Structure 1
């Protein structure tokens, strides 16, 4: 139990959201330096701590006669959470396919707790502005918080894991939509940005590690924890691609591609973003 750690400083962090630097201070540092310092100042009191605390309760609560803690294997054994997400996506023999953390959690909820797979869609798992976090968002915050500081080791030992990586790479470079866009258009070169937001070059180890290790994240502008599946969903929206289906093969493959590129980094999620 880490409730004291999770709740410590949340009120301070929420107050700090409204802090505005003076013009003189702003002139002494770049915009990105200021953003990085701002994020760091909030991290110790990340509001996602509240989500993680609720997620821990959901993990241990019985539904359909069983809790996830006594039935769900995230890859390290039933009920074992610490370090699990640092090794996902990976191949699971019980379903004979590669899964990311969200698809594995949904699988466990359907298999052991009587949930219905069709009830998990972008409109039900991604909370809207001002809405309470969904069960998935809280669960994801919890399992990632348990792996903070763990080394990223997304495996490539199984043939299906290698195939997932290759499909993810193809999806990353695929151009389409009305603007002939691709993931690589924003994330395969150094020095790109949208407004004040730097765009990490996900084909290089260091930026890939920094990006992969910090999702899910608490988005200050939205007042919500956003998962990796949401991050990809929103990227597809911004590219004007067809809607990315929740837990689709393409989404898992893209996460595999990013995770393998980030191997060796240290997990730092849930992080905090603008």
Structure 2
């Protein structure tokens, strides 16, 4: 019942905001004082007031502290890279190398490790869950809260370890790799500046695209689906649009792409979880 009421309210608010956007763009066109990009920016700012991602953040904080799984333990001893239990600042330094797993891990793959080792929740079962269902809902809520704890901080992924550098190189190759029936790559949409699909700006992810743009904006609440999308889900949908087979959840290629985008975004202010159309 709550979900259905919430979605109805969101739809109504979105409709009102879209109407306001139309007036904004029309006025800008008539007066010659605003560009289309300015109108879109205002529209996004209006939507961001009361971001529904806040509900996911609250759930994520509760999940972090709640004893769960066969071991009846919380995630409060989970090390996200800055020490056991340290959350603030962790998001803007992920993906990174972890000595205990001897892997470069992003937020989602690191949470899988913590859920399995601390709580006894099988990582394989979580990874097999569909997005938005089962334990994936828990993962999305945790990602929302953890990223929110670093809101306003600047992206600063480490590149000191050889494996971090190797994953950056792998991510760069994946970014430019073309294939599939459409002969697309990530760079097709995000390999130059000034591109847009309809009203959606396409940031240039080869360099720092700016504060709160690209990697620094995810996870995000998607108004069109009424769901919170993690970076893993965002990349999964990019592969769908390229007509590629879906990558494995928390696979090396998705983590490597995160390293590539995250390192390139160095210095950008994180606004995650943000709001998307």
- Give yes or no for TM over 0.5: yes
Equivalent residue number for residue 51 of structure 2 = 46
Structure 2: distance between partners of 1:144 and 1:271:
10
Equivalent residue number for residue 78 of structure 1 = 84
**Aligned with 1:217 (options 210, 215, 220):** 220
Equivalent residue number for residue 175 of structure 1 = 178
Equivalent residue number for residue 42 of structure 2 = 37
Equivalent residue number for residue 188 of structure 1 = 191
Contact 2:208/2:265, CA 8 A, preserved across alignment: yes
Give TM-score scaled by structure 1 length.
0.89
- Residue 209 of structure 2 aligns to a residue whose secondary structure is helix
Structure 1: distance between partners of 2:246 and 2:8:
36
Equivalent residue number for residue 89 of structure 1 = 95
Equivalent residue number for residue 199 of structure 1 = 202
Contact 1:203/1:261, CA 8 A, preserved across alignment: yes
C-alpha displacement of 1:31: 3.9
Contact 2:210/2:268, CA 8 A, preserved across alignment: no
Residues 181-232 of structure 1: CA distance to partner in whole angstroms, max 9, x if unpaired? 1000111112212222111111132348621111001111111111111110
Residues 84-124 of structure 1: CA distance to partner in whole angstroms, max 9, x if unpaired? 011000000001110000000111001111111221236x2
- Segments of structure 2 that go 5 or more residues without pairing to the other structure are 1-6, 29-33
C-alpha displacement of 1:46: 0.6
Structure 1: distance between partners of 2:21 and 2:98:
52
**Aligned with 1:68 (options 75, 79, 95):** 75
Structure 2: distance between partners of 1:120 and 1:90:
21
Contact 2:203/2:209, CA 8 A, preserved across alignment: no
> What is the root-mean-square deviation of aligned Cα atoms in Å?
2.3
Structure 1: distance between partners of 2:9 and 2:81:
36
**Aligned with 1:101 (options 95, 101, 107):** 107
CA separation of 1:23/1:65 partners in 2, compared to 1, >3 Å: closer, same or farther? closer
The within-5 A match list for 1:226-237 is 226-237=229-240
Contact 1:151/1:264, CA 8 A, preserved across alignment: yes
- Residue 17 of structure 1 aligns to a residue whose secondary structure is helix
Structure 2: distance between partners of 1:214 and 1:162:
23
